[in-house]
Amino acid sequence: AFEIVDSTVTDTVVWYDWNFGDGSQHDTVVFPSHHYLSTGTYTITLQVEYSNSCTFSYPNVYNFTVFPEPVADFSWLQESKYFAMNTVVFNDSSSGNIFLYDWMFGDGTTSDEENPIHDFDLVSTYPVTHIVTTPDGCRDTIIKLVEITQKEDIPNAFTPDGDGVNDLFLPGLQLAIYNRWGQLLYEGTDGWDGTYKGDKLTPGTYFYILELKSAKNTINKINGTVTVVVRQ
pLDDT tens digit sequence for 134-176: 998 889 999 999 999 888 889 999 999 888 889 999 999 999 9
- Decide if pLDDT at 229 tops 70: yes
pLDDT at 213 (0 to 100) = 79
- Decide if pLDDT at 68 tops 70: yes
Mean pLDDT calculated for residue range 56-67: 70
Amino acid, single-letter form, for residue 214:
S
More confident residue, 89 or 69: 89
pLDDT tens digits for 183-203? 999 999 999 999 999 999 999
Predicted model pTM: 0.62
pLDDT tens digits for 94-144? 999 999 999 999 999 999 999 999 999 898 999 999 999 999 888 999 999
The answer to whether the beta carbons of residues 140 and 131 sit under 8 Å apart is yes
46 three-class SS: strand
Cβ-in-10-Å burial (0-12, 13-18, 19+) of 206 comes to buried
What are the CA-CA distances from residue 6 to residues 11, 33, 205 (Å)? 12, 19, 92
More confident residue, 57 or 111: 111
103 three-class SS: strand
> Band of the pLDDT at 7, cuts 50, 70, 90?
very low
Distance in angstroms (rounded) separating the CA atoms of residues 181 and 65: 75
Amino acid, single-letter form, for residue 111:
S
185 three-class SS: strand
Lowest mean pLDDT among 27-31, 57-61, 84-88: 57-61
- Decide if pLDDT at 1 tops 60: no
pLDDT at 4 (0 to 100) = 55
pLDDT at 76 (0 to 100) = 94
